[in-house]
Structure 1
Amino acid sequence: MTVAVLGGGPVGQTAALLLARWGVPVVLVDEHEVRDPVGSKAICQQRDTLDVWASLGAGCLAEEGLTWTTARTFHHDTELFSLKLPDGGSALPPFVNLSQARVEEVLDGLIARQPLIDVRRGHRVRDLTQPGRVVVECHTADGPRRIEADYAIACTGARGDAVRRALGQRLDGVSFRDLFLICDIRADLPGWAAERRFWFDPPWNPGRQVLIHPCPDSQFRIDWQVPADYDLAAEESGGAMEARIRAIIGAAPYEVVWRSVYRFHTRLVPRMRVGRVLLAGDCAHLVAPFGARGLNSGVADAENAAWKLARVLRGDAGEELLESYHTERHAAAVENAAVTTATMDFLVPQDDEQHRRRLDVLTRAAHDPAAYEQVDSGRLAEPFWYADSPLTTPDPGRPFAGRPPRGAVPPPGPGILLPDVTVPGGRLRELARQGFLLLTTPGVDSAGMRSVEIPVGGALGARPGEAWLVRPDAYVAAVLDRPAPDDVTAAVRRGTSFPQG
C-alpha cells in the first residue's frame, strides 16, 4: 500500500516524512533534478509548523531561524507604534524567519535517511487518472514514466495545473493588480536584526508599502509594493534598484543575494479531495503572504492528510474519513483567504471608501493607541480550529467563541490544538502524535486506551472527572465528563469516521 506525494517542496517533503513515520511507503515525485539553493521565498515558519518539523527530527530549524521581537509600523516617515511580541510560554519560538532553501535542505537530509521514501526527481507530472488506483503519468529526460499508488497527495504548487486539470479543479479567485518586488540583501544594520519594519506610504515608495524582515546571517528581506507595469530589468540597468535600497539602509555596504517579482493572489480550489487524491498547499489554495499563511497552512494540510491516510491504509478507518480532510482543510483555506483579503484591502484599497477608512485609521494611530488594532499589515499565521468538524464531539460547557483577537488563541477545548505543555512522559503534543491519546484527570478510567493523567486545572483547564480525547495531529477530539468506556469508544469512533450522504 503506497502513497504518491506529488511535489517536492516543503509541503510535499513534510507529507512524505509524516506518512513514513506512520509506516506508509511513499513515492515522492519532483519535477526538479536539483534544488535551487538561492532565495528566501517562504521565510516565516510559525510555532506549530516548527512543532511538526521537530517531531520529524528537524528541531534544528527552530534553532537556526531568527525570531524578531519588535514590530515597528510607520506611516509616511513617522513611526506610529512598536509592539513587543510575547513568547507564549512554549519551548519553541512563536515563529522564525529562515529561508525556504534551508528548510528544504534539512528536510531532504531526513528524507535521504528514510527507507520508506522513494524519491523520483526530474519527473514532471503530465496527467493523473484513478482507475481504482492512482496512476500518474510523468515526463522525464529519459522519456515517459508511469507511477501507480493507492492514494496521492498533490503538492505541486501554484503551477500544478496538470494535476488540477486532471482532477477537474480550478484555482478560482482573484489576482491583485499591483506587483511586489522582493529583494534579499546582506548588510550590517545595527539594531535591525530583531525588528520587523513596515511602512505605509513612505516618501521613497509613495502611495505604496514596504516591509522589511530580518533573516539569519545578516540578511534582510525587503518587499516593495510596485506598479503593475514594473520592469525589474530596466530598474536594475538604470540604477533605480540601487536608489531603492539606499533610501532604506543609507550608506551601509550591502550585497544583493536574490530578487524577484511576484503578483499576489487569493484563489482556492472547490474540492481538496477528489477520489483518492488530496490536494495540499499552494496546489489547493493561494493567499497573499502577509501573515505567512501559505507554507504554514500547507504544513497543516500535510499533517491532516497523513494521519488520515495512514489509518485508512491500516484498516483502522473507512475511506470516508478522507472526506473530512476536505471539510477541515477547505474551511481553513477559506478562513485564510478571508484574513489575507482583509489585509490586502487595507494595504491596497479597492475603492474610495476603503481609501478613506485606511487614511482615517492611520491618521488616528499616530496619537490614539485604540486605533492600533485596526492597522492591518497582516495577522500572523495561526492554527485553524476544528470546532465545527464532524469529527469533533462538541462540549456545551466549552462553546467555541470564534476567531480570537490577533495574537491570541482560543481556550483549550474540542476542536482546538493542544497547548504546547510538558507532562510526565514528555511533551504533550509529541505523545499525541503517536496515535489517539486519552488525557484523564485523577480517578477517571482510561477505558483501555493509551493514556496520560493530567491535573485538574493546569494549561488545559481540565475539570474534575474529565477525560480529553486527542487526535493524532494533537487536536482535541472530545472532552468527556465522567465517561464510561462506551462514551470513550463512541468519541473515538466519531473522531475516525465521517458521515456519508
Structure 2
Amino acid sequence: MPGRAQYDGAPIAIIGNGPVGQTTSLLLARWGIPTVVLDSRDSRDLVGSKAICQQRDVLDIWGSVGVGRQVADEGVTWTVARTFHRDRELFSIEFADRGRSAYPAWVNISQSRTEQILDERIAASPLIDVRWGHDVAAIAEDGTSIVVTARTRENVETVRAPYAVVCGGARAYPLRAMLGVEFEGRTFDDYFLICDIKTDLPEWAKERRFYFDPEWNPGRQVLVHPCPDSTFRVDWQVPPHFDLSAEERDGGLDRRIRQIIGERPYEIVWRSVYRFQSRHTNRFRVGRALLAGDCAHLLAPFGARGLNSGVQDAENAAWKIAAILGGWGDQSLLESYHDERMAAALENLEITTHTMDFLVPQSDAGWAHRRDVLARAEHDMVARRQVDSGRLAEPFWYVDSPLITPSLDRPFPGRPAKGSPAEPGPGVLIPDVPVHIDGDPAARTRDVGRDGILVLTTDGVDRDATERVAARATSAPLKVYAVADIEVDGLLSECLDTGPNEAWVVRPDGHVAAVVAGDDDIALHAAIRRTLGFSTLVDDSTASPV
C-alpha cells in the first residue's frame, strides 16, 4: 500500500459512477481517502460494449488498484493495427514497449464488463460509498468545502466535501452549467453505425483492421476490432440521416454484415448509430471541483483516446488530492490539474480532429486530397505517411507543466512516431521495467513510484546524501534507490538512457518530474518542491492538510 494520507476528514465527492469515477474512487481509496460516489441512474447500465480499447498504461493504472490483470486476461490482446485501401494493405503498425511492461500494448474488452470488474473491487472497499439514484441539483462552495445537493426519489441530500471530481459523462450539460464552464467544439455531420457481431473470424482475432473505401462501403470506411467471446466490433461510416430501423427492415443491415463476413452464421449482440463530437471545457478546475473524462472532453473514437485519457485524468486528480490532504502537496496542485489535463485534452483533440478531417473531409478540396493520397499511397511511401486512420492512444507528456523541471540535456524531441513511446526525460512516463526491491520478485518501477516521490540515482552519486536532501525537501512518502542496486540485467539504465551523476525525480503517477545533476543539492531540493506545487526553497515542508 502507498503512504497513507493520514486523513480523517470528510469524503471526497465523486459525481458520476462510470469508469472514470470508479477509477478515481479506487485510486483515492488506495491512498486511504474515503469517497462518496453519486450517480443519477438507479443502477448500473450494462447495455452495449461502448469503449472497448484499453491501452497498456491504463491497464497499469488499473493494476495499481487490483483489477488490471483481470481486465487484461479477460480481454482480447492485439498488437498490430492494419490499414487498407480497398482490398490492398497500405501499412501496419506494431506497438513498441520501452521497457518490459506487465501488460500488452492493447486489450479489447467491453466497457460494460470493465465496469463490472471495477464494481467488484469497489464493493470490497469500506472507503467507497456508492449512492445510486442521486441526481445532482446544485454544486456550490462555502469557503472551506464544496457542497453538492442531490435529489433522490425520497428526499434531498447534501454532501459536504473538501473536493469534488466531476465525471458525469458526455451528457453532463447541467453539471457543466452549475460550474459555469463552456463546452467548446464541433459535431461531425456523418454518422457511424456500430455493431457488435458474434461470429467466427479466426484470422482477424488478434488485430485491428481499418478499411478506406472498401467495395462493401464505397467512398467511406470500416473499422473492425476483435473482442472477447468471438465477437467483433464493426464501425461503418454511413451517410447523414442514416436510418438504422429502415436498414434493418429491408435487410440492408444483413447485407452489410454479409459483405464482410460472408455466409458465416452470426448474431448481433448490440448495435447503435452515433455522430461524433470534438469538444472540451474551457476549465478543468473550478475552485474545489475537478472535471474529468467525457464531462471535460469529448473525442472522436478513432484512436481510442476517450476512456483511456479519462483514466489518466483520474490518476492525475487522485494523487494531487491525496498529496494536499496528506499535507505534502501545495494547493497549487489543483490548478496544475487544469494545466496538465487541459494540455493532454488539446493534444488528443488535435490528433483526433485531424483524423476525422481525413475520414470525413469538410470540403470538396478535402475530398480531393483524400482521394489523391489514398490512390498514391498504394505505391508511394511519402503518401502512405499522409494516410490517417487514427493515431492510437498514448500517455501524455507533461513537458510544459509548472510541476516539471526542464532539462537542457534532455529536451523533449516532440510527438513520437506512431506506435512508439516518448523518449525518457522530464514530463514523460517512466518505462515500466522489473526491478529488485526488498526481495520482491514482482517489483516494477511504476509500482515503486506510485507510493509517493521516487528518486533514482546513477553512477557517481552518493545515494545516502541524496536521500538526506530529498527528505529535507518534502514530507511526502519517499524512496531513494541507486539504479545499479535495483535494476535487472541493466534494463533500467538502458530504458532511461542514463548517464553518470544523475538524479531522476519521479512523481506518484510515474511521470518523470526532473533529471538533475546528482551532486547539485539545490537543484534536487528545488525540483522536488516544484513537483509538489511549492514555489519557494525552504528546508522543511510546511504544508498542512486542508
Give the AA of the match of 1:62. Answer: A
Residue 169 of structure 1 and its aligned partner are, at CA, apart by: 0.8
* RMSD of equivalent CA atoms: 1.6
Corresponding residue for residue 231 of structure 1: 243
What's 1:473 paired with?
509
User: Which residue of 20, 26, 30 corresponds with 2:39?
Assistant: 30
Check 1:232–1:276 CA distance in 2 against 1; reply closer, same or farther (3 A cut).
Answer: same
1:437 aligns with 2:454: yes
User: 1:100-179 residue pairs with structure 2 within 5 A?
Assistant: 100-132=111-143, 133-179=145-191
Aligned to 1:362: 374
CA offsets 1:311-362 (integer angstroms, 9 cap, x no match)? 1112222222210000000000000000001100110111122222211221
Work out the CA distance in 1 between the residues paired with 2:61 and 2:302.
22
- Which one of 393, 396, 399 corresponds to residue 387 of structure 1? 399
Counterpart secondary structure, 1:292: coil
Partner of 2:104: 93
User: Which one of 66, 74, 89 corresponds to residue 84 of structure 2?
Assistant: 74
Q: In the aligned structure 2, how far is the partner of 1:77 from the partner of 1:102? A: 33
- The aligned amino acid for 1:476 is V
**Of 285-294 and 203-212, the range deviating more from structure 2:** 203-212
Residue 214 of structure 1, CA deviation: 0.5
- The answer for the alignment partner of 1:483 in structure 2 is 519
> CA contact under 8 A between 1:71 and 1:83: conserved in structure 2?
yes
Separation of aligned partners in 2, 1:471 and 1:482: 18
| TM-aligned CA distance change 1:82 to 1:463, over 3 Å | closer
Instruction: Provide the residue aligned with 2:75 in structure 1.
Output: 65
CA distance 1:392–1:276, change in 2 (3 Å): same
Within the candidate set 214, 217, 222, 1:202 is matched to 214
Provide the C-alpha distance between the structure 2 equivalents of 1:121 and 1:306, rounded to a whole number of angstroms: 22
Bigger drift between 351-360 and 107-116 goes to 351-360
Does the 8 A contact of 1:393 with 1:478 survive in 2?
yes
CA shift at 1:499, angstroms?
5.9
Q: CA deviation at 1:83?
A: 4.3
Count matched residues. Answer: 500
Distance in 2 between the 1:492 and 1:173 partners?
A: 37
When residues 82 and 391 of structure 1 are mapped into structure 2, their CA distance, relative to the original with a 3 A threshold, is: closer
Matched residue, 1:496 = 532
Scaled by the length of structure 2, the TM-score of the pair is 0.89
SS of match in other structure, 2:495:
coil
Residues 444-466 of structure 1 show CA distances to partners (whole Å, capped at 9, x for unaligned) of 33323521221384211111111
Q: Which moved more, 1:121-130 or 1:491-500?
A: 491-500
Indicate the SS of the match to 1:268.
strand
Moved over 6 A (4+): none
Give the letter for the 2:507 counterpart: R
| Letter of the structure 2 residue corresponding to residue 164 of structure 1 | R
* 1:450 corresponds to 2:479: yes
Residues in 2 aligned to 1:214 and 1:314: alpha-carbon distance in whole angstroms: 43
The 3-state SS of whatever aligns with 1:392 is: coil
Shift of 1:116: 0.8
SS in 1 for 2:189: strand
Amino acid aligned to 2:234: I
Q: Which amino acid aligns with 2:132?
A: R
Letter paired with 1:461: D
TM-score normalized with structure 1 length: 0.96
CA distance in 1, matches of 2:85, 2:499: 48
- Give the CA deviation at 1:87: 5.5
3-state SS, counterpart of residue 185 of structure 1: strand
8 Å CA contact 2:280–2:345 kept in 1: the answer is: yes
> Helix, strand or coil for the counterpart of 1:242?
helix
What is the alpha-carbon distance in structure 2 between the residues aligned to residue 404 and residue 338 of structure 1? 15
* Alignment gaps of 5+ in structure 2: 1-8, 438-442, 469-477, 485-489, 537-546
- After superposition, the Cα gap between the structure-2 partners of 1:430 and 1:423, relative to the gap in structure 1 and judged at 3 Å, is same
Residues of 1 paired with 2:97 and 2:290: CA distance? 34
Question: Which deviates more from structure 2 when the two are superposed, residues 314-323 or residues 378-387?
Answer: 314-323
Code of the aligned partner of 1:478 = A
1:44 match? 53
1:67 touches 1:93 (CA, 8 Å); kept in 2? yes
The letter of the residue matching 1:490 is A
Q: How far 1:69 moved relative to its partner?
A: 3.2
TM-aligned CA deviation for residue 498 of structure 1? 5.8
State the 1:206 CA deviation.
2.2
Could you tell me whether the CA contact under 8 Å between 1:447 and 1:485 is conserved in 2?
Answer: no
Taking every aligned residue pair, what percent have the same amino acid on both sides? 57
CA distance in 2: counterparts of 1:227 and 1:161, whole angstroms: 27
Correspondence for 2:265: 253
Partners of 1:361 and 1:371 within 8 A in 2: yes
The residue aligned with 2:65 is: 56
